[in-house]
Amino acid sequence: INKFGHAESEGCGLIDEFSQAVSSGIPVISLVQKKYFIEWQQFTDGIGLVLDNKVEAVLDWAEKQLQKA
């Protein structure tokens, strides 16, 4: 899903898509700007992870998700 931004922080935008994916057990990776990080944490209720801004971190996360499938 593209990103968690202004619209999602207000309960609009792609918020339903985020919820449906997570509820279905689909791993979700998204960009979150620092100014929306608190709203992201509230939305995810603490289940979200913060990855390093490096390709290796994303690839490692993706590999772990594939192993769970």
Give the pLDDT of residue 41: 92
* pLDDT(62) > 90: yes
d(CA 67, CA 63): 6
Rg from Cα positions in the chain = 12
- What tens digit of pLDDT does each residue of 1-56 get? 679 999 999 999 999 999 999 899 899 999 999 999 999 999 988 888 899 989 99
Give the pLDDT of residue 2: 79
Higher pLDDT, 56 or 68: 56
Interhelix angle for 15-23 vs 37-44, to 10°? 40
Give the pLDDT of residue 19: 92
Burial class of residue 3 (count of CB atoms within 10 Å of its CB; 0-12, 13-18, 19+): middle
